[in-house]
Chains A and B, each alone.
Chain A
């Protein structure tokens, strides 16, 4: 177990393509950090640099206080779980788990002990003698995790380990990974582009965009106080509504209503409102803005109402028994509105 520090870490490929820009990040011992961002933002590249599978072209990475830029992957004391599992197809599950330990010249009975322990934790004892091709996707996933935990490494690195599973299994495995990490207390870095997975797993979220860190914080911090319109749109489902509005003295005017902001700003701002942070009110209520209905999605417990506010797309989540007309009058929950700079997209206040 160890802390991982990234200092001004950057990556350029031959030909001058820069895909990761000067990342600073300190991961504490035992922490579960999730790197999240859209496809191509450099999450895998960053993780693979920590693993030693990709060279570091700028800055430095330390694991447990040791600078590892030039250290071979096997010597970094990390274990990695790949998206396609990368199990050795010609070896049985037991051999797959034991292979890394054998290469380390570990004593036979210690290997057996660790493999059996991992098998018990992950409930894969029943198919230790099968080959990977005779396992289901979820079972292969467990074996891949087993291969990581038998090593008892300083850190786990996960690169989208659940994205090959079906939705239901993904939710189940997500829970198991969380429990496992809590139980073992091993520092973990987890890469995903699924914001829900990121929210549910992370102690701390790192939102990446175009090879840069957009925001670092606990899932709730990031959810409640997104640092930019990018984070605001990326984290949370259904996504936050973002619309242009004119502000005067900290109040945004939109759709005939008034929305108070945190900061006392004036001029054009981008107003952010989460679909669940608005409340329907009677027509004529002071400060309410008007939503023109387009269509409704029933989600069971809730319904998601899509429409437009002053021509901007807007969605709101209402109780499933809410009555709907052609128009809805809405007010924001107190303190729920987010204001962003219209040019830079940075959070105001």
Chain B
């Protein structure tokens, strides 16, 4: 704001603090719940102060899991989630940056057709094509494998478009200068385009990592074997217990752990992330 009036300042801060509270309070509750023993919830109320079972709860979840509801240790599930999130993010970025490069810098037959086909897939997110995709993955024998978990999610029209936009802002003269400097198509890609898109790649990585980590429906469908469970689907599995009370302390501990990696990614890549989204100078 241009004006610097104390009233407005206070108001702005009030709104912000309110926003933070609204977002942070449930997380606080989740954390508190994960520090109590399983019996503390029977009253139907969740306590607001920390309990004494923190270490025990987290260690149990990480090392042994919850055998009663078929949950493998969380460390394994987190590893699965990590593999899935990383493969999806890196795969999406690699494939879409290459296809954007082809679309922007090369004149080949059916270039426009290729462009439009990619464009149309924007209208078909995973949820829409989930049955045929499941069938294909099943027929290829990829159920309960990392490949089945990740490959169907890797193609990305959105990322292709983002890189296309980035490449279109790079002046043609740069490509021409590189041609005169003796850089062929591969060299131009590695030496010029890739480093120049660094910030955008980082920003996209953050978004895609979180997207991959938070996948729920797809892993739920194609994993039947506990060794390939991911943590986000695991939470739901734990809450769905028949004939007994859900063990909220364990569920909340899982939720907190599931939240950590995306938060860490955001914290550590924040600078690049913001740069990648706002940078205009080329």
Contact = CB atoms under 8 A, between A and B. Distances in A.
Contacts of A53: 176, 179-180
Contacts of B173: 82-84, 86
Given A86-B171, A133-B281, 17 more contacts: A52-B180, A53-B176, A53-B179, A73-B176, A74-B179, A79-B180, A83-B173, A86-B173, A86-B177, A87-B177, A89-B196, A99-B181, A99-B191, A100-B180, A100-B181, A103-B187, A147-B177
Contact of B176 (A86, A87, A147): A86
B182 interface: yes
B187 A51 contact: no
A74 B176 contact: no
B204 to A, nearest CB: 18
Contact of A86 (B174, B191, B198, B281): B174
Interface in A163-207: none
B166 interface: no
Given A84-B171, A86-B173, A88-B174, A103 B182 contact: yes
A157 to B, nearest CB: 9
Contacts of B238: none
Nearest to B194: A90
21 contacts: A53-B176, A72-B179, A73-B180, A74-B181, A74-B182, A80-B176, A83-B173, A86-B171, A86-B174, A86-B176, A87-B177, A88-B177, A88-B191, A89-B196, A89-B282, A90-B195, A90-B196, A100-B180, A103-B187, A104-B182, A147-B177
A80 B195 contact: no
B197 to A, nearest CB: 10
Given A53-B176, A80-B176, A80-B177, A90 B198 contact: yes
Nearest to A79: B180
Interface string B143-175: 000000000000000000000000000010110
Given A80-B176, A82-B173, A86-B173, A103 B181 contact: yes
A90 B194 CA distance: 10
A78 interface: yes
Contacts, number: 60
A311 B279 CA distance: 57
Contacts of B196: 89-90
Q: Which of B180, B183, B191 has the most CB of A within 10 A?
A: B180
B192 interface: yes
A87 B171 CA distance: 10
Contacts of A88: 174, 177-178, 191-192
Given A90-B195, A90-B198, A133-B281, A103 B183 contact: yes
Q: Please give me the 6 A-B residue pairs with the lowest Cβ-Cβ distance, nearest first.
A: A100-B181, A74-B182, A86-B173, A103-B182, A86-B177, A90-B195
Nearest to A144: B177
Nearest to B183: A103
Q: Which of B176, B181, B183, B195 has the most CB of A within 10 A?
A: B181
A88 B192 CA distance: 7
A28 to B, nearest CB: 23
Interface in A31-71: 51-53
A73 B191 contact: no
B192 to A, nearest CB: 6
B181 to A, nearest CB: 4
A79 B179 CA distance: 11
Contacts of A79: 180
